[in-house]
A and B are shown apart, each in its own frame.
Chain A
């Protein structure tokens, strides 16, 4: 082991390699704290060549490796299964090129999502995918997870914005995929690598598409007596052929948590749900679109429609949405943020069932979600110190996923499968479907050494998939 660490240190320097137990503690999990495992070491390479060398050393020692961005993922995707070495990309954080004329940027994987848009704003351009963690999460992590965000509805997810990728393969060779035009003569390997959860190699450079900052933005905060009515308004907006930049719903319980927190945004306390609608585009078009959205909402049963008068008011509305997860900290010490997608038209009935599941298990369950694309985030607030509660949390999570799949949906819309949902993949895909995916993976990583144990169910990991079975219900509290 010391030989491995020594060799890694010789590549990245002593400050670029963590290996003492206390140093590794924070790298045991990502944003999903229910799944954790201690890495053998964490290395912080500064270049593609250092990544190649790190991979070579890991291979020589027979140790797997896991690429990691900022660790904000919510599916345990960056957890070091099999005592892997974590390859942390935060020191590869340079924006290498901003080509305003051709509207693309070339970045290293550790560039923070929001920083890129900040840097491109002076050119009138922005990077569209905006996950809630965009102040911390990295482009490399976004590529791994095919991250979305509230504005996915109009602009698409990461996959729609990646033109080219430089990838260090598990044999330590380097492959360039795609081009700055997006043209790729062979198979669309860029498209297939995006969202592969760091299981095919380590991304060391990304060329992303930049979009023009819209001429004008209008943001509405609409309150409804209940979530079902709010969903009806969302359906009406979509059916009318309008394509808002965002359609986000916050339910009653979340409103209460937000309003009691530092994120308080003046949301109507008596509302059963609020819907944030953001329209952007040509200035000449927005006034009419705004009126149409208002009419649809009122017809659906809106109690109150508020239009942001200026940017600070718009930020206030978004503070409620983006601060929702943080505000949940007021309800209980632990939060399990679920992620599933259903057809939009099934939202009301699925939400009803999800609430019933929460009630049945005696859990505090709230919903804040991307209603426009049917992407639900049922949030369960709980205290892991109570083993019985944890059991209910896990059981409710399973039932929620099963309910979403029964409604024609899938088990993840933007968080990925990771460790968290690998045992649920069979709800969506057959053995043959998964076998084809594994076949695809084997063309990049035939020995399964890059981020092992993720995405696919394995007998080996079955016992570990239950956090309680692994003793995590007791971690840190004994």
Chain B
């Protein structure tokens, strides 16, 4: 509960219509009944200063599709929403770049781009995903070209000091100053709040087609999925499996028509691929957010192509439902849990995922877990020696812990 004097300061800082009281919303054991929604950069800046001055803590939200990711907060007085920081500042289709405010929904940007010959290279799950949320969470989908940070040309970020700082710019090539675009992207709003972003756009492919391969065993499935991801027009390749089902590979080919036709033919001849409806790849993408039970666990794991099969086989044997993007070297593993999970069982799953991810060549993040499971564990795994730098960054950028305190890697 925010004390009345502070409440008034916040109301003034956030501006007209920017403060909303509601029923308490729980976030991993803490709850807040207040949402602050600044309508512009100045209001955002004022709000952050007011929060800092009063020693208050907020959870930063876009659409909320990734709100469950993170360690339990160590403080929560309000939610800070980017919901009113909306609008497309500029879409430059001669350059293939765009400037968008952070609360803008991706689907609204896609709508604005329709017919322009360009599309957004961001592809996260979640119908209402916002630009800022997608970047803050470094959220990817099957069609991602790589980490979202690679698509960011420039950012304006509001810091808790009240400064609104820029990094990068609007041009497609730039080494002026440190590339803090990379730092803020994927930082889950723990260092500053993204106000707007300059993004690369991607040319709409001349032809795209979705196809599917059904395979009965792991080796064949992984081989097909890797081959599909690596063919010239392979824009998305996903592999889905669970103990109860077989192995399914869904592929989207996109690019110039001759290449797509050739690759489709090759995948058909060599891997038994058959064409399916275009939206199948999007249905697969939504599996990224699923957990098998309300109290289940979901992990994101980095896995090299050469370790994909052993990774999937081991996780599957441990009861996981799996979604893999071999092109992105990512595996999403979901485990069902009872409502009151057995601690030994949970521990065994975490141990197994940590061990599998080490052998797979990458780390892991537990993206979904009940609050009881989060207690005493770091959802981002062990940061090793870089933990000291991560802590120092949080301390230097957000010394009083206004922004998502405790939520990030190293419980920062």
Contact = CB atoms under 8 A, between A and B. Distances in A.
Contact of B180 (A212, A243, A436): A436
Contacts of B159: 436
A274 interface: no
Contacts of A439: 396-397
B165 A436 contact: yes
A343 B95 contact: yes
Interface residues of B, number: 81
B349 interface: no
B233 interface: yes
Contacts, number: 245
B380 interface: yes
B96 A343 contact: no
A410 B169 contact: yes
A186 B171 contact: no
Contacts of B170: 343, 408
A370 interface: yes
Contact of B171 (A174, A342, A425, A437): A342
A252 interface: no
B178 A184 contact: no
Given A183-B363, A282-B262, A437-B180, A156 B386 contact: no
Contacts of B180: 192, 436-437, 440
Given A181-B329, A345-B95, A432-B163, A152 B173 contact: yes
Contact of B176 (A215, A373, A412): A412
B232 A410 contact: no
Nearest to B177: A437
Interface string B361-385: 1111100000000000000110111
Given A156-B150, A174-B385, A191 B177 contact: no
Contacts of B118: 241
A341 interface: yes
Contact of B147 (A173, A188, A412): A188
B165 A433 contact: yes
Interface string B145-180: 011011000000101000111110111111111111
Contact of B361 (A175, A179, A289, A417): A179
A182 B138 CA distance: 13
Contacts of A442: 392, 396
A432 B170 CA distance: 19
Contact of B230 (A187, A212, A284, A429): A212
A interface SS class: loop
A432 B164 contact: yes
A19 interface: no
Interface string B265-307: 0000000000000000000000000000000000001111110
Given A241-B117, A342-B171, A432-B164, A187 B258 contact: no
Given A156-B150, A444-B389, A434 B177 contact: yes
Nearest to B170: A408
B112 interface: no
Contacts of B216: none
A375 B172 CA distance: 9
Nearest to A446: B392
Interface in A357-374: 370, 373-374
Contacts of B182: 159, 188, 190-192, 194
A344 interface: yes
Interface centre among B138, B206, B256 (most CB of A within 10 A): B256
29 contacts: A101-B305, A157-B175, A174-B385, A176-B384, A181-B302, A182-B147, A185-B365, A185-B380, A186-B386, A188-B149, A188-B182, A188-B185, A188-B186, A215-B232, A241-B203, A241-B206, A281-B232, A282-B256, A284-B258, A285-B256, A285-B258, A370-B173, A412-B175, A412-B176, A416-B175, A433-B177, A439-B397, A440-B180, A443-B392
Interface of A: 99, 101-103, 145-146, 148, 152, 156-157, 159-160, 173-177, 179-192, 194-196, 212, 215, 235, 238-239, 241-243, 281-282, 284-285, 288-289, 341-345, 370, 373-375, 408-417, 425, 428-430, 432-437, 439-444, 455
Pairs of residues from A and B, 8 with the lowest C-beta to C-beta distance, nearest first: A183-B302, A191-B182, A241-B203, A181-B302, A181-B362, A183-B362, A186-B409, A443-B392
Interface of B: 92-97, 117-118, 138, 146-147, 149-150, 157, 159, 163-167, 169-183, 185-187, 191, 203-204, 206, 230, 232-233, 255-256, 258-259, 261-262, 301-306, 329-330, 360-365, 380-381, 383-387, 389-390, 392-393, 396-397, 408-410
Given A282-B262, A429-B177, 17 more contacts: A103-B305, A146-B175, A148-B173, A157-B175, A175-B385, A184-B363, A185-B363, A186-B383, A186-B386, A190-B182, A212-B230, A410-B174, A428-B177, A436-B167, A436-B397, A443-B392, A455-B177
